[in-house]
């Protein structure tokens, strides 16, 4: 049922994909990239569309002292330990949810859990392009780059990247890194510039579960190592 409800938020993406299919059939990659730019923006207006993660995989050390200050919170599909002073919210994926500001502009942490292969169930056509699980789906999405769009599959992932990326502040100074912590790996897109920090954490475990942890750090209280410590506590609830 939850997956069915999610589908209504990607109707626009599907419609645009059909339009792109027409463009790619009768025009070349350059026209396709131009068409996407007109529809969702270009690298100047949305810099992250032309950003890709750094090649190096970051393996942070967990701060056990900081870990001891976190409070475990449990939701129907996941648990996570978080610092005090943050509003904690779990919702389904939708663009407006990620873009909106929290009431009162307080620090907040938003959660999105997805079970193994949930993305494939939502977008079954990507299986034809070798995308078989959540890991490959997220890898392709994070590595999508507007300047490298050559076909409909590339176009699909760049559109999804625009939808799936929350507000991370000034994208011109954003960083994208790959990480590995114990049995978890993934990608973090972030900006650290006072007065606020933003962390878009995309986490996968060895069982194929996916978790998005989006942190709006009002007041810039958290460092990157704090964030890694927080997301290291993410666990699925069967």
Instruction: Please state, in angstroms and as integers, the Cα–Cα distance from residue 34 to each residue in 37, 38, 49, 196, following that order.
Output: 5, 6, 13, 33
What the block records as the tokens of 36 is: 């996407």
> What are 41's two structure tokens?
């923006």
CB-side neighbour CA atoms (13 Å) of 27: 13
For the beta sheet containing 235-236, the strands, ordered from the edge strand earlier in sequence to the opposite edge, are 71-74, 78-82, 235-236
Whole-angstrom distance, CA of residue 124 vs CA of residue 132: 9
Backbone angles phi, psi at 173, to 5 degrees: -110, 10
* pLDDT per residue as tens, the chain (238 positions): 444 444 454 555 555 555 555 555 555 677 778 878 888 888 999 999 999 998 899 999 899 999 999 999 988 889 999 998 898 888 653 333 333 444 445 789 999 999 998 888 877 888 888 898 999 999 999 999 999 998 888 888 998 999 899 999 999 999 999 999 989 999 999 999 889 999 999 999 999 999 999 999 999 999 999 999 999 999 998 7
The predicted model scores a pTM of 0.83
At residue 167, φ and ψ (nearest 5 deg) are -65, 115
């Amino acid at each position: 049922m939850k997956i069915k409800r999610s589908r209504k938020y990607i109707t626009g993406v599907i419609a645009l994909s059909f339009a792109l299919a027409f463009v790619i059939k009768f025009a070349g990659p350059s026209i396709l990239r131009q068409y996407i730019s007109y529809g969702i923006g270009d690298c100047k207006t949305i810099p992250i569309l032309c950003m890709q993660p750094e090649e190096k995989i970051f393996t942070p050390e967990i701060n056990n002292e900081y870990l001891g200050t976190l409070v475990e919170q449990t939701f129907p599909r996941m648990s996570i330990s978080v610092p005090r002073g943050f509003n904690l919210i779990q919702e389904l994926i939708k663009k407006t949810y990620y873009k909106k500001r929290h009431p009162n502009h307080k620090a907040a942490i938003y959660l999105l859990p997805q079970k193994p292969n949930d993305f494939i169930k939502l977008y079954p056509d990507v299986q034809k392009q070798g995308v078989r699980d959540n890991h490959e789906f997220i890898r392709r999405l994070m590595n999508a780059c507007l300047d490298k769009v050559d076909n409909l599959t590339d176009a699909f992932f760049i559109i999804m990247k625009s939808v799936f990326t929350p507000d991370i502040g000034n994208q011109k100074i954003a960083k994208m890194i790959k990480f590995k912590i114990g049995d978890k790996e993934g990608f973090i897109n972030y900006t650290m510039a006072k007065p606020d920090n933003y962390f878009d954490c995309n986490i996968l475990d060895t069982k194929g579960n996916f978790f998005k942890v989006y942190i709006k750090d009002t007041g810039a209280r958290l460092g990157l190592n704090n964030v890694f410590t927080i997301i290291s506590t993410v666990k699925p609830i069967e």
